[in-house]
């Protein structure tokens, strides 16, 4: 069924940015490209070996926690092997399709970081199972090798002279796509309607129908309604655009939780792994409630993904921004404990961040970022956001350090009086006080006063715009290189 409707311009995102590479791309490597790719291939071999160990436990009937943990690990290892393949391909051919932004340094560091956190997520899920002792040595060996690879890539900010406004188009676009965008009209490939008036009555079937490794945008239009299902956009479903009829009109809802046998990673109502995903005017909800511990509404591993005017609603761990480069604009994100968490490089702009009422006596924390190596380019940056709470009497904090090198920045945002004067909450004693990086820059509102903030060595009040500029769209997620191709509005700098 064809359906035409008006949206803001967006570009059919492709991974083909051949004009963006320069002859000096490989200068970001401290070692020879051959040595670098040989080391990456050795990591793939190690991943294949540990995968064979996990395969022995796929029939652990009567042990749902173990089955779910093993299933998550197999998925994470599979994604890791693919990401290492991208790394090898981009290193061998810097002008090829796998060099997704044109900044080889940024791409390699992003993907290596994703491989690293995949192993860490697997290990977290295996805690308390009898499989942990069998695979931990192999998983830590993979992590060590990936850290070594990450150390071999020099951070280079080599942004290209690309379009930053929605009326300009990258050179690789074909003329027909430009015409469609200039007319500000697009046709859905499939329509989902709960009442049966579309191609599909559920979102999962529409996602499954999307072509694999697609180099053009595949548009799924989801009509208003509540869709009670758990949806996964798998790693080979590239360039999917999902459009609803409004944040509160089109809702995908689930209720998986850790209390009910799921690991955090697998509890997501909506999970996306495929590259270049865009969602707009739709909500993702987990209704497990405040007593069910971790229960994810949205999990994203999608590199160069964007979420525009989306709702992400849950309690503990609402949004799992797991890995890679992500952008959230004009979204509403609500929850209780660590309700925005993960290992990704994620930018939140013009978003409503709302702490909810949780269990009696529970403290709210907005962000719990996990960075496990100082060479990772990852972190959370909040700009032009509004941070508030449903109940200002519940102690609410900007964040706490989930991992050693946790990095979170709030800038040019409004904070209600729900934010405690100290601003940030410890994780466990003085853990990570010296190694984390937390920053605040030019925030406003009654909760933004920094006089009584924590005195941790890793906490910084940023007074210089040049420091804050490092955490803008252009610098932090290389947004000028790819966001103009999504049609999502954004502000490049401060």
Q: Which two tokens stand for residue 253?
A: 């809802």
Q: Which of 323, 237, 242 lies closest to 281 in space, CA to CA?
A: 242
Contact 297, 320 (CB under 8 A): no
SS3 content of the chain, % helix, strand, coil (to 5): 30, 25, 50
Contact 47, 77 (CB under 8 A): yes
C-alpha dihedral sign at 189, 194, 195, 200 = positive
Residue 48, C-beta contacts closer than 8 angstroms, at least 6 positions apart: 81
Phi/psi of residue 173, each to 5°?
Answer: -70, 140
Task: Write down the residue that tokens 């519940």 correspond to.
Answer: 394
Enzyme catalytic residues: 338
Q: How far apart are CA 330 and CA 488, in angstroms?
A: 10
Contact 281, 309 (CB under 8 A): yes
Task: Write down the residue that tokens 């993907």 correspond to.
Answer: 111
What is the end-to-end Cα distance of the chain in Å, rounded? Answer: 43
- 156: β partners: none
Count of other CB atoms within 10 angstroms of residue 463: 9
Q: Which two tokens stand for residue 127?
A: 């805690």
Contact 326, 362 (CB under 8 A): no
DSSP state of 288: S
Residue 328, C-beta contacts closer than 8 angstroms, at least 6 positions apart: 306, 307, 310, 346, 347, 348, 349, 351
Q: How far apart are CA 219 and CA 186, in angstroms?
A: 9
- Secondary structure of 81-148 in HEC code, one letter for each residue: HHHHHHHHHHHHCCCCCCCCCCCHHHHHHHHHHHHHHHHHHHHHHHCCCCCHHHHHHHHHHHHHHHHH
Contact 429, 400 (CB under 8 A): no
Q: What is the DSSP string of 173-184?
A: --HHHHHHHHTT
Count the alpha carbons within 13 Å of 81 in the hemisphere toward its beta carbon: 14
């Amino acid at each position: 069924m064809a359906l035409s409707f008006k949206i803001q311009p967006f570009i059919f995102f492709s991974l083909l940015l051949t004009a963006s590479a320069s002859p000096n791309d490989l200068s970001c490597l401290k070692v020879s490209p051959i040595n670098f790719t040989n080391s990456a291939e050795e990591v793939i071999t190690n991943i294949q070996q540990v995968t064979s160990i996990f395969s022995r436990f796929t029939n652990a009937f009567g042990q749902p926690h173990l089955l779910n943990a093993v299933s998550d690990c197999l998925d994470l290892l599979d994604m890791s092997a693919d990401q290492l393949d991208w790394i090898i391909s981009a290193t061998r051919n810097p002008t090829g399709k796998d060099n997704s932004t044109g900044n080889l340094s940024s791409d390699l560091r992003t993907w290596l970081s994703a491989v690293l956190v995949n192993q860490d997520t697997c290990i977290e899920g295996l805690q308390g199972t009898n499989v942990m002792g069998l695979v931990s040595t192999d998983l830590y060996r993979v992590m060590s090798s990936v850290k070594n690879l990450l150390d071999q890539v020099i951070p280079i900010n080599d942004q290209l002279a690309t379009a930053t406004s929605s009326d300009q188009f990258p050179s690789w676009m074909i003329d027909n796509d430009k015409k469609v965008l200039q007319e500000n009209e697009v046709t859905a490939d499939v329509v989902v309607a709960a009442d049966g008036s579309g191609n599909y009555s559920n979102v999962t079937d529409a996602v499954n129908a999307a072509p694999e490794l697609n180099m053009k945008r595949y548009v799924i239009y989801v009509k208003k309604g509540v869709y009670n299902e758990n949806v996964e956009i798998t790693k080979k479903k590239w360039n999917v655009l999902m459009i609803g009829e409004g944040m509160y009109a089109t809702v995908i809802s689930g209720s998986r939780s850790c209390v009910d046998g799921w690991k955090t990673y697998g509890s997501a109502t909506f999970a996306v792994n495929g590259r270049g995903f865009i969602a707009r005017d739709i909500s993702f909800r987990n209704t497990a409630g405040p007593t069910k511990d971790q229960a994810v509404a949205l999990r994203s591993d999608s590199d160069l993904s964007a979420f525009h005017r989306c709702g992400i609603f849950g309690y503990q761990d609402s949004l799992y921004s797991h890995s890679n480069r992500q952008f959230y604009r004009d979204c509403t994100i609500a929850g209780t404990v660590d309700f925005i968490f993960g290992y990704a490089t994620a930018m939140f702009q013009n978003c409503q961040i709302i702490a909810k009422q949780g269990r009696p006596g529970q403290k709210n924390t907005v962000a719990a970022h996990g960075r496990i190596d100082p060479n990772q380019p990852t972190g959370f940056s909040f700009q032009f956001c509004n941070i508030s709470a449903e109940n200002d009497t519940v102690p609410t904090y900007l964040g706490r350090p989930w991992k050693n090198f946790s990095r979170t920045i709030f800038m040019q945002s409004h904070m209600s009086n729900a934010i405690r004067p100290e601003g940030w909450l410890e994780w466990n004693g003085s853990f990570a006080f010296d190694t984390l990086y937390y920053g605040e820059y030019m925030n406003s509102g009654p909760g933004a006063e920094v006089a009584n903030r924590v005195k941790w060595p890793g906490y910084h009040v940023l007074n210089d715009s040049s420091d804050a500029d490092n955490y803008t769209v252009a610098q932090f997620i290389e947004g000028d290189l790819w966001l103009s191709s999504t049609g999502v509005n954004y502000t490049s700098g401060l």
